[in-house]
Amino acid sequence: MALKHFIPLVCVSLLLGACSSSNKSQFVVVPPSESQIESSVKEQVLITLNAFTPVAGQALPNNTVLDAYASRSYEPIWIQNKTINMSIYKLVDILEQSYTHGLNPIHYHAGVLKEYLDLKQPTPQQLAEMDVIATIALASYSHDLSNGRYEPQLIDPNWQLDAPNTIWKDLLYIESATDMVNSLPLLTPRNPQYQVLQKWLVYYQDLAKKENDIFVSAGVPLTAGDEGPRVAQLRARLVQLGDIRFSTRKVNEEQFDQRLKEALIRFQQRHHLTADGAAGSKTIQMLNVSLKERAKQIAYNLERWRWMPSELEANRVWVDLTSYTVDMFLNGERTSMKAVIGKKDRKTPVFKGTMTYMVANPTWRIPHRIARENLLPKLQANPNYLVKHGYKVYSSWSIGAKELDSTKINWNAIEEDQLSYRFEQEPDESNALGQYKFMFPNKNDIYLHDTPAKHLFREEDRAFSSGCVRLENPDEFARELTKGFKQFEEMNKAMQTGSNTVISLPTYLPVYLVYFTVVPNANGMLEFRNDVYERDLLMEEAMGYSPFKARDSI
């Protein structure tokens, strides 16, 4: 019974009395008058709202439902002419299918509503309770579908991108219950990536229900030309995961042929593995991740998309942390390049900013944390470190602070938490920021910039910075930002003279720093990425359910 999931609802469940099954056509409301029902609705709104206060995740403000009823003078939403509106059955069906979006049907009271609908002789009070519970369920689901159920910063303080909308509230003010229910699909994020992910979630959920996982046994690496039962397992697993399309063409299942090699390369590419067409230990480990686990990963990323704005700007900068890339979309053109992001102990946060200016030949004012943790130990080992690497030191962070001679300071006498000097690195070829930095002012002091450490872009996994994002081709990035405008000439002049120059951008651009561990690739297949900051573990802990268990409990 669904009621077992709701400890606060004991009193409500007692009101239900004995339940008996009946089909929809048998359910006709008995004599209570419209005024009796409306009076009961008014009495039950606050009582039922308190009993059904959402639990877990992001609790929906009850005032939203209360205001919706008050605006219609507490007329019931789901009962007209003494008859249950059939749209409530459609609502229950939709709520039971919420697992297809990675949400948990338990949160939307579908089982409780079914118990009310099974009552043969509901009282006015029971009808009122059902009406209010259905509205709470509708409001909660519409909110969660459009905004996400969970508060991102409660899951991860470094996740600062949350763009809630209020469109879901408008749904409660639509006049008819039928139109309310029919409007629910419109609240789903319209981004194509969400749509593809959601379809794949259903695929994995259905597949896991129908079939057992086909796992590849451990052993020596499998390569082209090999034969045996492990090759057959490999082939069957790639068919199951969609990397090999099912064919009626006869094939030797136990032979590692060219077609199997090509399919395995596709699998390796979309799992960020070395795409050598050989099934070594890492590839087999990835092949053997269960369908249920993959479904959970997809669910986490659907929730992340619900935290995004409902529409993305056509012109934007997209910093994709899990693929270590930066894409600039500007005037219908796309500029893409590799990036280096923050290391695990200095994670690049997820947030949105607005890029407003760039700096040519920047000085680097070293943040307190980096000065304490990185620079001070180097100074204690070598008092000439600042001079050798082109740094200046000032007495404090205040304007007009006095420049000091770094070689006359006893660095070994300074504790880490006592360091109060300001350090700046002058513009030159060894400057940590390179020749450019691109600014979108934010509380995290994160920006995009050049780097002299070009060799890091040859690495597959590029989490090496102290939080800021380093660009592989900053020259190209700067040109695209300024071409066709006077700022282009300003930039060229600054590059020629080597002068430190601040250049306001002709077009302000939104900058998204995003983190998705499952994304559709260009072919519509899923790309499973390395969870470099272990944020999926935080999602699992917060969401705390399996989509399959939630599905089976209803």
Catalytic residues, which ones?
449, 468
Beta-carbon-side half-sphere exposure of residue 510 (alpha carbons within 13 Å): 12
Amino acid at the residue 275: A
Enter the DSSP assignment of 138. H
The counts of H helices and E strands in the chain are 21, 17
The angle, 0 to 180 degrees and rounded to 10, between the axes of the packed helices 258-269 and 229-240 is 50
Cβ atoms of 98 and 115 closer than 8 Å: no
Q: How far is CA 43 from CA 37, 80, 84, 121, in A?
A: 10, 18, 19, 20
The angle, 0 to 180 degrees and rounded to 10, between the axes of the packed helices 110-117 and 87-96 is 150
Helices (H), 81-123: 87-96, 110-117
Residues sharing a CB contact under 8 Å with residue 297, sequence separation 6 or more, in sequence order: 517, 518, 528, 536
Amino acid at the residue 166: T
Instruction: Produce one character per residue of 122-150: b if its CB has 16 or more CB atoms within 10 Å, e if not.
Output: bebbbbbbbbbbbbbbbbbbbbbbbbbbb
For 443, other C-beta atoms within 10 Å of its C-beta total 9
- Can you tell me which residue has the tokens 């894409």? 327
Nearest 5°: the CA angle 537, 541, 544 is 130
- Report the first-to-last Cα separation within the chain, whole angstroms: 8
Q: What would the two tokens of residue 193 be?
A: 């990536």
Measured distance CA(171)–CA(181) in Å, rounded: 9
Q: How far is CA 247 from CA 224, 244, 251, 259, 268, in A?
A: 20, 9, 9, 12, 22
- Can you tell me which residue has the tokens 């939709």? 94
Report, in angstroms and rounded to the nearest whole number, the Rg of the chain calculated over CA atoms.
30
